[in-house]
A = this chain, B = another copy of it.
Amino acid sequence: MGGDFGPRSIVQACIASLSATPSLHLTLVGQPSLLEELIASHPAVDRARLTITPASETISMDDKPATALRGKPDSSMRVALELLRDGKVQACVSAGNTGALMALSRYVLKTLPGIDRPAMVAAIPTQKGYCQLLDLGANVDCSAEHLFQFAVMGSVAAEALGVARPRVALLNIGTEDIKGNQQVKLAATLLQGARGLNYIGFVEGDGLYRGEADVVVCDGFVGNILLKSSEGLATMIATRIEALFKQNLASRMVGALALPLMRRLQADLAPARHNGASFLGLQGIVVKSHGSAGVEGFQSAIARALIEIQENLPQRLHGRLEDLLP
């Protein structure tokens, strides 16, 4: 029921995903009459693979996590997570309120043994491909141990996405040992001693975009600022390019020619918006689609959930954590 565009674009994305992936089954959780009405406008859909589970309440984008936890026992978000907990579905995808989704996920699914707090991870484009950046805002204050756990989770997630021996780095304001705050320095010591993890040291903000690492670890305050300021800068650059191309007749002509190139670039630059963020460290797969991502974004989030199901990500994480955590 969530997302800036509401259930209409989610239903559309679901129907597109069903026809793209014949083995996929989807359960929509929410107000049945509304959902049936939205499905009815797509008569070709295979209803054997698209079911509805009713939920009478909806968590709004402004609801506090406490409201989601205590005030709305029959919210679509909570019912979806309970289906996951009870083994009736294999993953949960939501475009709703991030804070509420994290709080409910922790409460309903619980974290994996050895994990204090789940982290949010997304793929960020770099000069060489992508890097998994975590945490993106679920955990504001982090100890060295939390950063260490994020590094392990990020490494396993990158492997599941096809990266062999992912290069794991800590985000810092310099690459020398003496740089950074206490938590980062202590986390570096923990990571240097970890067997089976390809820890490569510190990476700076520009190094991240140069593609120096496959997994970049930071606390949720820094990660959220980095992600949102990058989104803001990419939007500003796109706006300025458009403005430049509109200045006079000559540049308008260039602009008309350059437009398709620019569109591809913009789509390329916003994969976090497009592919969604995963919650790592839970006993279950939860993918958060960006609220403003629209149909294509929600489809990408479903695709990410499918990969995590195929790779059995929580199980892999659990195994690796048993090896690595003290």
Contacts and interface: CB of A to CB of B under 8 A. Distances in A.
Interface of A: 64, 125-127, 137, 140-141, 171, 173, 178, 180-182, 204-210, 218, 220-222, 224-237, 239-241, 244-245, 250-251, 253-254, 257-258, 261, 264-265, 268-269
A265 B178 CA distance: 36
Contact of A235 (B206, B230, B234): B206
Contacts of A226: 205, 225-226, 229
A173 B125 CA distance: 21
Contact of A221 (B173, B235, B268): B173
Sort A-B residue pairs by CB-CB distance and give the 7 closest, nearest first.
Answer: A205-B228, A209-B232, A205-B229, A206-B232, A173-B224, A254-B257, A244-B261
A85 to B, nearest CB: 27
A234 B206 CA distance: 10
B258 A229 contact: no
Contacts of A231: 205-206
B265 A236 contact: no
Contact of A206 (B180, B229, B240, B258): B229
A265 B239 contact: no
A137 B181 CA distance: 11
Given A224-B173, A229-B209, A261-B254, A237 B240 contact: no
Given A205-B229, A209-B232, A221 B261 contact: no
Contacts of A209: 229, 232-233, 235-236
A221 B181 contact: yes
A222 B204 CA distance: 11
A250 B251 CA distance: 16
Contacts of A269: 237
Contacts of A241: 261, 265
11 contacts: A173-B224, A204-B225, A205-B230, A205-B231, A208-B232, A210-B232, A218-B225, A225-B225, A226-B229, A229-B230, A240-B268
Given A230-B233, A254-B254, A140 B180 contact: yes
Contacts of A251: 261
A140 B178 CA distance: 12
A242 B261 CA distance: 11
Nearest to A211: B236
Contacts of A171: 225
Given A205-B225, A244-B264, A254-B257, 18 more contacts: A64-B178, A125-B236, A173-B221, A205-B229, A205-B230, A205-B232, A206-B229, A206-B232, A209-B232, A209-B233, A210-B232, A221-B222, A222-B222, A225-B226, A226-B229, A229-B229, A234-B237, A237-B269
